[in-house]
Amino acid sequence: MQMQENQRLELKCELNERFERSVVSFLNYTGGGEILIGVNHNGNAVGVVNPDEEQLKIVDRIRNNIRPQTLGLFDVVHDKINDKDVIRVIVSCGQQRPYYIRKFGMSEQGCFVRVGSSSQPMSEQMIEEFIAKRQQITLQTMLSPRQNLTFKQLRIYYQEKNLEPTEQFIESLDFRQSDGQFNYVAYLFADSNGVSIKIAVYAGTDKVDLLETREYGNTCLITATQKILDRLDSENRTFAKITSKKRLEKERVNTIALREAVINGIAHNDYSKGVPLVEIFSDRIVVTSCGGLVDGLTEEDFFKCRSMPRNREIMRLFRDMELVEQIGSGMSRILKAYNRSIFEITPSFTVVTLPFEKSLITPNDKINEGNDKINEGNDKINEGNDKINEGNDKINEGNDKINEVTKTILDLIKDNPTTTISQLIELTGKSQSTISRELREYQDAGLLWREGARKKGRWVVR
């Protein structure tokens, strides 16, 4: 296998002093690029001696020698070419251009851009143009609406990955602004926040009949993402056939593509405009994220899986948690299962529509689905009737008790017309208000009246 340098590929026999210059040029170049270390300029793999040690050096040099911060904008991968160990450095174009070599600052000696197959210094005018186009609103520059944030869940996730947090744990994740206040990155990954992602389930192919809305969030974004993926995993399973021995399961949509679409929707969402939304219809699953393509990334770049992360801080944490792998790899997995027609990209939204497997959408399925809804409605009607009957039973029971009291009081009065209210209370065990009320009702109905004085008079029962 022989390769040739081009605008998006640079070959290096070994890690040398010009490495940072190459990384900066790709950070400043639309679509980014790759650097292969262990491959000479003729395109032949010569290998590296110690791949693990070499990767650590590369990561350290990029993090310490290049500004602005590049976390989430590069991947360092151990690869094999013709049985030789090589290092593949995948660099994504950043939004905070111009990037520059730290010790030279934002100058012609520190800023480079890709021209053809080489890294060329940027002119002063180019640097000024990049600064003017810099995106001002980022998760780092957005202030967290809360400042009393805690990160217990995030610490646990890092411990589970054997990435033991240090004393400088929060600072290393770029959770603070220059004045020390927590930014929106911190807010998204805090134990408690106000960001909630919805899953809406509809009965049909439109939004008329909403069956359920469930919200996942107000917690660490990693926790919310995992809960959403678990829910969609259960929603995505359907029984294609039930035999006498077993049930055969079939996926409604490609599981890998669905997972990548959701993770991409969350990681690349523009949180200054809103939150992602997942909708499940009877024939498709739709993932909508806020924000179109980031400035400088064309649709052609997008469909060629050239990545320009909108939120490099989220990408960094998602990579640490192994929710994402290499930059741009998620798009490759989606396009391996579906063509680009499933994407709808506007200036405000990116929408991914994953159609259900056609064999799972048949007329009988629709009829059965309708019958199920009818039966469900009938069950609710029957449930309501049961409650009505239960209420009537209680009313009848109450009437029986009232009649029993009535009979007892009238019988006692018939047996002793001179009986008093105090005696009736003692004989029936009822309260004075109950006895007085019953006597009034009998009198009003003409069933009972009083003759003579109050103390020496008597009752007359019709």
Domains of the chain by range and CATH? 1-134 (3.30.950.30), 198-361 (3.30.565.60), 380-461 (1.10.10.10)
Does this model's pTM top 0.85? My answer is: no
pLDDT, tens digit, 9 for 90 and up, residues 161-199: 887 666 567 777 889 887 888 999 999 999 999 899 999
- CA dist., res. 129 & res. 115, Å (int): 17
- CA dist., res. 58 & res. 80, Å (int): 17
* Residue 376 pLDDT greater than 80, yes or no: no
Dmax (CA) of the chain: 129
Residue with tokens 């990693």: 222
CA-nearest of 195, 200, 373 to 285 is: 200
Q: What is the pLDDT of residue 139?
A: 86
pLDDT, tens digit, 9 for 90 and up, residues 389-423: 777 777 766 555 555 555 678 788 878 888 887 88
Tell me the range of 293-297, 340-344, 401-405 where mean pLDDT is highest. 340-344
- R_g (Cα) of the chain, nearest Å: 37
Q: Which residue has the higher pLDDT, 238 or 57?
A: 57
Determine the 3-state secondary structure of 100 from DSSP: strand
Q: What is the pLDDT of residue 396?
A: 65
- CA dist., res. 435 & res. 111, Å (int): 98
Contacts 24+ apart (CB under 8 A), 354-358: 354/253, 354/254, 354/257, 354/258, 354/261, 354/284, 354/285, 354/286, 354/287, 355/253, 355/283, 355/284, 356/252, 356/253, 356/282, 356/283, 356/284, 356/285, 357/250, 357/251, 357/252, 357/253
